[in-house]
Amino acid sequence: MTGDRIWTIAKTIEQRTLSPVTIMSSFRIAVLISGGGTTLRNLIERIDAGRLAVEIALVVSNSPKAGGLRFAADAGIEAVVIQEKGFADQDAFSREIFRRCRQTEVDLVVMGGFLKRVTIPEDFTNRVVNIHPALVPAFCGEGFYGRRVHEAVLEYGAKLSGCTVHFADNQYDHGPVIMQRAVPVLDDDTPEALAARVFEAECTAYPEAIGLIAAGRVSIDGRRVRIRPE
């Protein structure tokens, strides 16, 4: 998007499929997972507690062994396994994921520890969000995920790390930044200790960012994301 075109994300979705009342009362998301599903569990808990006004309409996993599938089952959420090996290439794999998202009529796709790269189609531009366990643009890009990120932060000697919620595009950790939360890096940190502190920040930042999008308070101007006050 060019600098003179500022789009409110929820408004763009409204123009495609929904009424304003629907956006506020039933904002539907899909959560993509690969492993334990800790992000999915956090979102479910926030929704159940009345702290996040969205509906998880679909969970997609690329592995039938993903532990997070049990959280979907326990919550009565539709879940589907789509394995990359069943498709000719990344584009075909991605088309099936987003076909299911369209079929389920989701408004936003949430990457919840999804370890496969996907090709985002045009109609899902600025409708896919990701969280990265560092302060983008530091310690991000291809190969930077999980423990590797925290090891790199410690090896570099950084004094701050944190998490970054951003819109996903077709480059690694590249889309416009929605929100960041910083945490200190302590002298005696291990990758595991730092990861735990960063994840604690993720557990508040990700639901907050999703809630802001669902409430229609997020807009994009070029690469700058603006959040409208209540």
**What are the residue numbers of the active site?**
132
Q: Which helix (H) or strand (E) holds 61?
A: strand 55-61
Q: Decide: residue 162, CB within 10 A, 0-12 exposed, 13-18 middle, 19+ buried.
A: buried
Angle 97-46-197 (CA atoms, 0-180°, nearest 5)?
A: 90
For residue 175, give the DSSP letter.
S
Helix (H) and strand (E) counts in the chain: 7, 10
Strands 160-167, 7-8: parallel, antiparallel or unpaired by DSSP? unpaired
Beta-carbon contacts of residue 87 (< 8 Å; ≥ 6 apart): 93, 96
Quick one: tokens of 79?
Answer: 């879940």
Quick one: tokens of 85?
Answer: 């090996």
**Nearest CA to 191 among 160, 224, 153, 139?**
153
Single-letter residue type at 181: R
Q: What share of the chain is helix, strand, coil (3-state, %, to 5)?
A: 35, 20, 40
